[in-house]
Amino acid sequence: MLTPSDFSDLTDCIETANKPQTKRKFIMTRTTPNPTFANNANTDTQKVVLPTLELEGADIARLYLLEVGHDSKRLTRNTKPVVGLDTRLGNEMRTLKAEFEGGRIPTWRLRECQMHIVDKRRRSEALWFVENEVECREFIAKSKKGFTSLTALQSAMSKANKQASSSTDDKASTKDKPKADASPKTSEAKQRPVELSKDEIFKQLIKVCNDSGVDIMDIAEMLLREADAIEADAQSAVAEAIRHSKAS
């Protein structure tokens, strides 16, 4: 959730980023004392040269805060190569991710680049888009209706991949299925799956992540995307049922 301090942090960066690109100065004013940038007058205000990532992050955060509502062309506008908001956001996150071993960006680095102002799910979706940009653009091009957000695009691609995987598995299963034994052994009892509680599943998931060196936050984000996909499918089913009832 955004706090008044988030907007205060952006003030100087927005003043710089709001200027036309040709007139923009790569500086910001610090109002917090910092020994690293202390000057001879021992004042609280110093001018610091902004690295590219910090300036780009400030501009992205400014555009994110100015974004209002949803429209049918928002995804097309935000995913334009190079200049689209989500494209820029995804490239920013990918570059920051590459700075750290393991790909986990520390909170202090996110704050330096004003990325803490952008919703975490939005950052995750934008990163996913640029990391799968070719596949995403091909999927969008094949779609008849198009998509209004990256969330809807993710859900549709996840559903399509599941259907394709299920179809492939069914074909392989039919092809490799052995002939049934004419005289099955009656002594072979069917094994029932072991039922685990939520706590047991959670503990096993933590153990597997630790043993495999996988960041549990990455798994959490994948679970959130899966939950969004399930919710989107349910909403689509309800809308379809309502449409059929009205038509009849």
pLDDT at 4: 52
126 and 206 in a single domain? The answer is: no
Q: In sequence order, which ranges of 132-187 are alpha helices (DSSP H)? A: 133-142, 150-176
26 and 136 in a single domain? The answer is: yes
Q: How many domains does the chain have?
A: 2
Integer angstrom CA distances of residue 60 from 57, 118, 139, 192, 194: 5, 9, 26, 53, 49
Long-range contacts (CB closer than 8 Å, 24 or more residues apart) made by 39-44? none
* Domain extent at residue 16: 4-142
54 and 126 in a single domain? The answer is: yes
> Does 238 fall in a domain?
yes
210 and 95 in a single domain? The answer is: no
123 and 225 in a single domain? The answer is: no
Instruction: Identify the residue with better confidence: 118 or 201.
Output: 118
> Does 56 fall in a domain?
yes
> Does 180 fall in a domain?
no
245 and 135 in a single domain? The answer is: no
> Does 170 fall in a domain?
no
Q: Are 243 and 237 in contact (CB under 8 A)?
A: no
**Domain closes at, from 101, 124, 142:** 142
Task: Give 223-239 pLDDT, tens digit per residue.
Answer: 888 877 787 777 766 66
135 and 218 in a single domain? The answer is: no
Instruction: Identify the residue with better confidence: 212 or 31.
Output: 212
Task: Give 56-92 pLDDT, tens digit per residue.
Answer: 999 999 999 998 776 778 888 999 998 999 999 999 9
